[in-house]
Chain A
Amino acid sequence: MISVSNLAKRVPIADGELTILKGINLEIKSSETVAIVGASGSGKSTLLGLLAGLDNASEGAVEIDGTNLQALDEDGRAALRAEKVGFIFQSFQLLPALTALENVMLPLELKNISDAGSRAEEFLSRVGLEQRLTHYPRQLSGGEQQRVAIARAFAGQPSILFADEPTGNLDSKTGERIADLLFELNREQGTTLVLVTHDGALAQRCQRRFEMEAGLLEEHNSTAHAVAQIG
């Protein structure tokens, strides 16, 4: 479960401070799928960074399964990410010097999992890349690279998956296939999915949808568990 209270992010600029996020409150239950939509520059990625503990908030708190991220240091947050968090990025973030298999093995190796190789292979087969294990990122298409990234994200069996514009760099057809794969694996694994996108169709596939605008967050469907507040 993710719980956010009164979260704000401000950055210093030449003549003062720029507020990127202000007073955000949010609760995401285990296994929920959540979309955060908004225009470019609205602060979606900043929020994602804070939720995943990649960045420090100026104010407020983010809790993951009861642990306050602000109370942890950088290494503590890293340990938490290693245990619970997976990522999928718009620009795939595969390491060019590693093969597809090695890229997927990386988070498993960091956790000292002994059968990293076979597990990575298994997940690459799940995303349909069993023939491309030894290929380098530059030898793969954009869609294939994102499938490697999905395999890498799920291979670590995280309880929460953060996806930053996962189809943003892909054509609509490939994007759709990638989205299918993402939601299928997510269902199977029972992962909590937090997805940042400006693709309305993709957002529609999530159980809950929030919109970010000028640093403020608003939940779009007015169903029972809407707790987002503006303030």
Chain B
Amino acid sequence: MGLLLRMLLRDWRGGELSILLLALVLAVTMVSGISGFANALKDALRQESHSFLAADLAIRDARPLPSEWTELAQERGLNTAEILTFSSMTFSSDGAMVLSSVKAVSDAYPLRGFLRLSNSPFGELREAVGAPERGTVWLEPRLFALLAVEVGDLVEIGQASFTVAGAVRSEPDRAGGFLGVGPRVMLNADDIPATGVVQPGSRVSYRQLYAGDSALVAEFADELNTLLLPGQELQSVETSQPSVAQALERAERFLLLAGSLAVVLASIAVALASRRYAQRHQKHVALLKSLGSSSSRVRTLYAGSLALTWAAGLLLGWLAAWGLQSLALEAFAEQLTVKPSILAPRPYLVGAVTALVCVTCFAWPSLSRLATVSPLRVLRADLPVHAGREGRDYLIAVAAIGLLMFWYSADFELTSVVLAGLLSIALVGGVVAYLLLRGGREAGTQAGSIWRLALASLLRHGVGNALQLVVFAVAIMLLLLLALLRTSLLDGWQEQLPDDAPNHFILNLAPDEVEDVAALLDEASIRRESLYPMLRGRVVAVNDEPLPFEAEQDGPRQREANFTWSNELPPGNELVEGRWWGPAETDFVSIEAEFAENMGVKVGDQLQLRIGAAQLEAEVLSLRELDWESFKPNFFMVFPEDFLSDYPTTYMTSFYLPPDQKPLLNSLLKQHPTATVIEVDAIMEQLRSTLSQVSNAIELVLLLVLGAGALVLVAGVQSTTDIRMRESALLRALGARRNHLLGSVAIEFAALGAMAGLLAVVAGESAFWALQSFAFELEYQPTPALWPLVLLTAVGLITALGLWSCRRVVSVEPIRVLREL
């Protein structure tokens, strides 16, 4: 142990261990830091996104839900709240009445997110949690106009009267769906019995909300799933807010990918650093053996040394990861309503295991081979080291990278694509490197002496250079890939949610109101989407096979849906199967693909439909995919105009209303009192802020991975530095001029950089295509504009690193370089 510690200390003092240690520290920092940060952020964002549900988990039913479930949830350590929603007439004391959507909530509502209230209909907003006080109600702004009431006036619902206490401007859980929309009246759930409106048989939607620690919620969800009766629906953010869920899922995948790539890069850095460490220690081992040290002693010494380096790297890495997480989360503290923990154990465990795998699978093979160094090397330094098992080492390394990535990302698809990319770049890179370097030999014989020198050097170390080339190419490819994905994700979100994306919906417009409303909006220069006809309908049978009212599990059942007509494919819709109808075709329908799948419907099926009392039949002509992330009107079922035009219909559209034009809503609603306006601007702001946090997180993680990439480049350059230094020192001793040598080194690395850049562009672009198409399900667009930039950056960066690492050749006397190496 004494010798071991002294050896380590000496190695450390002599700088021998610093790169290996640095690579390990970086591996742990990257993995623990990114994984911790990503997890913490994911939890925080998920909790934030749960505000779209006002809870982490909710259950809905048309019948009262058992109160035992609330008690059970509370026993399990969860918070609970209850909501009842139903339609009811609201009367003013002057006798005005409006059919409104009443929402009665318990005091704990909402469990996630906030209500936005104001004291007057479109007054200053404030955030609040809790139900209205008993005996009071909050009204949606337009109800003030419709009922001609003000704050402090009385309104009646059923047998009870309530004082108007304020305006409710937005509810966290009001983003999804337009079912049962009427102007909102919100009251305290304890006041419901006094109204007497909820009777057996009333159409009421009951919801129980649950929130708490994510593991407890997940357990409780599993428990509830076993208790659910038909018709009871468990809701989570994935089911209630597909757009948020999709954005989060992509962000998560990106972070996982970035983390996995950081693992790969750190592993390569560790492998390169160990290889160099082992090379530099061959002389040391030969001497130890000539002095009487056995192979097993050498092995024990280096194993011990590696174990201690692992421990030191782990501690330093953990410390750095902790610092990194604190810094990163500090940067997000203002935007995050939930303070994530930086001490959750899993990321640190992930770091420890990663470092252990790095040490055993990437560092140990090189070091263990030291035990086979012949002591005869003390007399003959040119003896080769046994290298027969290198193939096995590469296999172990690839398997380890694969397992590590899979364990880390738990995503087989992502792991396979990245692994396939790495393997193909290694394979193609090796062959291309060999061919290019061989081609260089012919060019070199005709070139000037500085070029000849550089090319000769490239060729002489063919195998080492090919390896270096592949390492450079892999590092650049991974960074390029990550940068491309990041840009694509961020641009995608920016495109889906531009600043002027529709932030209000208007529904329930009668056909004769359509022109007026369109004119009103157009006059005020409000950007709006087309006006779509909308009517409620029901699919009752498929191919004359009646659908049940209630389904076991998720099976097909009768469902109400919004129908619309259109003679063209609505913008933002994509046909995935079948075709669109022509001008004379009528009895057809186009269905949203997932909706069709849930009902078990295919193209060519006959659907039996009901609109009011009317029975209709249509053939499924196409399936469409919708962009749920846009805030534009989207319909599950679209028909040809002639098919539906005889049925009573209302119209809807969405539009962008800048905050300073909010009062326009008042005049709009005064002129069209039966129309319904849904304000989603607050929700969109929330979504925008969520996405901007995710974007920031992605930028930060990208920066970290760039750090890992840089380390790999440095380790890669250093892997051949010794031999280049020795040769350059010799050449200098033989009279080569300083500029000549530097020029030759620059040309060598520039050539390597150019080849690596070229390989990286090809492989990066291919992997980008694969990931976009299969893992992120985004549209792939080639990025030729980036190619020359990547090439130039690769050349510049690798040349600069090469010159920097060989700078001692020209700054130190050649004899010293020769003596030290």
Task: Spell out A's residues near B (CB within 8 Å).
Answer: 45, 48-49, 52, 54-55, 74-75, 78-83, 85, 87, 89, 93, 95-98, 102, 106-107, 109-111, 137-138, 156, 164
Contacts and interface: CB of A to CB of B under 8 A. Distances in A.
A78 B292 contact: yes
Contacts of A52: 290
Contacts of A74: 294-295
15 contacts: A45-B379, A49-B380, A74-B294, A78-B375, A79-B292, A81-B292, A85-B292, A89-B378, A96-B820, A97-B11, A97-B16, A106-B287, A137-B819, A138-B820, A164-B379
B291 A87 contact: yes
Contacts of A54: 290, 374-376, 378-379
B132 to A, nearest CB: 77
Main secondary structure of the interface of B (DSSP, over half): helix
Contacts of A87: 290-291, 378
A75 B296 contact: yes
Given A55-B374, A102-B6, A82 B293 contact: yes
A156 B291 contact: yes
A81 B819 contact: no
Contacts of B819: 96, 137-138
A48 B290 CA distance: 12
B153 to A, nearest CB: 88
Contacts of B392: none
B287 A93 contact: yes
Contacts of A85: 292
Nearest to B291: A107
B448 interface: no
Contact of A82 (B10, B283, B292, B820): B292
Interface string B3-38: 100100011011010000000000000000000000
A57 B289 CA distance: 18
A49 B294 contact: no
Interface of B: 2-3, 6, 10-11, 13-14, 16, 283-284, 287-297, 374-376, 378-380, 816, 819-820
Given A45-B379, A54-B375, 12 more contacts: A75-B294, A78-B293, A81-B292, A82-B291, A85-B292, A93-B283, A96-B14, A106-B291, A107-B291, A107-B292, A156-B291, A164-B379
Contact of B291 (A49, A81, A98): A81
A109 B2 contact: yes
A200 B117 CA distance: 105
B464 to A, nearest CB: 22
A95 B379 contact: no
Contact of B379 (A49, A78, A96, A137): A49
Given A97-B13, A138-B816, A78 B289 contact: yes
B292 A110 contact: yes
Given A81-B290, A107-B291, A89 B379 contact: yes
Contacts of B290: 52, 54, 81, 87
B380 A45 contact: yes
Given A85-B292, A109-B3, A48 B10 contact: no
Contacts of B816: 138
A111 B3 contact: no
Contacts of A97: 10-11, 13-14, 16
Q: Chain A CB within 10 Å — which of B290, B294, B374 has the most?
A: B290
Contacts of B294: 74-75, 78-79
A75 B288 CA distance: 12
A79 B2 CA distance: 20
A163 to B, nearest CB: 12
Contacts of A75: 294-296
A74 B293 CA distance: 10
A109 B378 contact: no
A182 to B, nearest CB: 18
Nearest to A103: B287
A79 B284 CA distance: 17
A111 B292 CA distance: 8
Contacts of B374: 54-55
A47 to B, nearest CB: 11
B289 A109 contact: no
A30 B778 CA distance: 83
Nearest to A106: B291
Nearest to A74: B295
B760 to A, nearest CB: 36
Contact of B292 (A55, A83, A95, A102): A83
A89 B380 CA distance: 11
A75 B2 CA distance: 22
A49 B816 CA distance: 28
A177 to B, nearest CB: 21
A95 B284 contact: yes
Contacts of A83: 292
Contacts of B289: 78
Nearest to B296: A75
Given A79-B292, A97-B16, A110 B378 contact: no
Nearest to B372: A74
Contacts of B296: 75
Contacts of B11: 97
A79 B16 CA distance: 28
List of 6 A-B pairs having minimum Cβ-Cβ separation, nearest first: A82-B292, A97-B14, A75-B294, A81-B292, A107-B291, A54-B376
Contacts of A81: 290-292, 375
Contacts of A156: 291
Nearest to A109: B3
A134 B586 CA distance: 97
Given A97-B13, A138-B816, A48 B291 contact: no
Contacts of B284: 95
Contacts of A109: 2-3, 6
Contact of B376 (A55, A95, A96, A102): A55
A82 B291 CA distance: 6
B295 A78 contact: yes
Nearest to B298: A78
A22 B14 CA distance: 44
B295 A93 contact: no
B288 A106 contact: yes
A73 to B, nearest CB: 9
A54 B378 CA distance: 9
Contacts of A93: 283, 287, 378
A89 B283 CA distance: 13
A206 to B, nearest CB: 20
Nearest to B11: A97
A78 B373 CA distance: 13
B5 to A, nearest CB: 11
A85 B289 CA distance: 11
Contacts of B375: 54, 78, 81
